[in-house]
Amino acid sequence: MKKKTLNKIVAPALALGLLVPTGVQADDHMPTASTPAGDLRATLDQLLSEHYVLAVTSMMKGYDEAADAEAAMQALDQNALDMTPAISSVYGEEGGMKFEEIFAGHNDYSSDFVEAAKSDNEELRMEAEAEVDEFVEEFSTFLDTATEGNLPKAAAADAIELHEDQVLSVFDNYVEGDYEEAYMTFREGYKHMFDISKALSNAVVMQMPDKFTTGADTPAVELRSTLNSLAGEHFALAAIGMQKGYDQAEDYDYVTWAEDQNTLDFKAAIQSIYGDEGAAQFEKVWNSDHITAQGDIVAATLEGDEAMIEDARMRLDQFAVDFSTFLDAATEGNLPQAAGEEAIKQHETLVLDTFDQYVAGDAEAAWMSFREGYAFMFGVGETLGNAIVTQMPDKFEETMMPEEMPETGLGGAQEQSMNSLYAALAVLGGILLAFVTLRKRKVSEQ
Amino acid sequence: MNKRHLFLALSLFCFSFWTWTSAQESSSPPVEEKQIEESPDLTAEFSLLQEEVKKLRLAEEEENAKAVTPVQIQIPKIDVDTAVEQVGVLENGQMGVPKDENQVGWFEPGVTPGSKGNAVIAGHVDSKTGPAIFYQLDQLTKGDDVLIRDEAGNTLRFRVTKTERYDTKTAPIEEIFGATSNRNLNLITCSGTFGDGGYDERFVVYTELVDTELNETVDLETPTAVELKGNLLTWHAVRQESVIGYRVYEVVDGKATHIESVPSHARKSIEVTNENDASYYVTAIDQLGNESKPSQTTN
For B173-203, write each residue's pLDDT tens digit: 889 998 887 889 999 999 888 887 788 899 9
For residue B237, the chain A residues in CB contact (below 8 A) are 252-253
**Residue A140 pLDDT > 70, yes or no?**
yes
Q: Please list the ranges in chain B whose pLDDT falls under 70.
A: 1-40, 63-64, 211-218
Q: Is B36 on the interface with A (CB under 8 A)?
A: no
Comparing B211 with A167, which gets the higher pLDDT? Answer: A167
User: Pseudo-torsion of CA A127, A133, A138, A143, nearest 10°?
Assistant: 150
Q: Is B215 exposed, middle or buried (0-12, 13-18, 19+ CB in 10 A)?
A: exposed
- Alpha helices by DSSP H, listed for A208-249, are 219-246
Q: What is the pLDDT, as a whole number, of residue A108?
A: 82
For A242-273, write each residue's pLDDT tens digit: 999 999 999 999 999 999 999 999 999 999 99
Strand partners, A180: none
Question: Domains of chain A: which residue ranges?
Answer: 2-396, 407-446
B271 residue type, one letter: E
Q: What is the pLDDT, as a whole number, of residue A402?
A: 55
Q: To which H or E segment does residue A328 belong?
A: helix A306-330
Once rounded to an integer, what is the mean pLDDT over residues A313-341? 96
Contact B230 A267 (CB under 8 A): yes
| High-pLDDT (> 90) share of chain A, % | 78
Q: A204-242 burial, b for 16+ CB within 10 Å, e for fewer?
A: bbbbbeebbebbbbbbbbbbbbbbbbbbbbbbbbbbbbb
For A98-125, write each residue's pLDDT tens digit: 999 898 888 888 889 999 999 999 999 9
Q: What is the pLDDT, as a whole number, of residue A339?
A: 95
For residue B270, the chain A residues in CB contact (below 8 A) are 292
Q: How far is B60 from chain A (nearest CA, A)?
A: 22
Contact status, residue A56 vs residue A189, Cβ threshold 8 Å = yes
**Residue A430 pLDDT > 70, yes or no?**
no
Q: A300-334 burial, b for 16+ CB within 10 Å, e for fewer?
A: bbbbeeeebbeebbebbeebbbbbbebbbebbeeb
Query: Could you give phi then psi for residue A35, rounded to 5 degrees?
Result: -115, 160
Q: What is the pLDDT, as a whole number, of residue B57?
A: 79
Q: Is B51 on the interface with A (CB under 8 A)?
A: no
**Residue A424 pLDDT > 60, yes or no?**
no
Closest of A24, A110, A61 to residue A244, by C-alpha = A61
Nearest to A288 among B225, B267, B271 (CB): B271
Q: What is the pLDDT, as a whole number, of residue B219?
A: 77
Residues A319, B142: Cα–Cα separation, whole Å: 61
Mutate to test the interface with A, among B267, B282, B295 (most CBs of A within 10 A): B267
| Sequence-separated (6 or more) residues with CB below 8 Å from residue B46 | B52, B244, B245, B261, B262, B263, B264, B285
Computed over every residue of chain A, the mean pLDDT equals 87
Query: Could you give phi then psi for residue B118, rounded to 5 degrees?
Result: -105, 105
ipTM confidence: 0.74
Residues B159, B143: Cα–Cα separation, whole Å: 6
Q: What is the pLDDT, as a whole number, of residue A74?
A: 95
Q: For residue A26, what pLDDT band results from cuts at 50, 70 and 90? A: very low
Assign B293 to helix, strand or coil: coil
Is the C-alpha dihedral spanning A278, A279, A280, A283 positive or negative?
Answer: positive
Contact B47 A250 (CB under 8 A): no
Q: How far is A254 from chain B (nearest CA, A)?
A: 8
Q: What is the pLDDT, as a whole number, of residue B6?
A: 34
Q: How many CB atoms lie within 10 A of CB A100?
A: 17
Q: What is the pLDDT, as a whole number, of residue A109?
A: 87
Comparing A398 with B108, which gets the higher pLDDT? Answer: B108
Q: What is the pLDDT, as a whole number, of residue B237?
A: 87
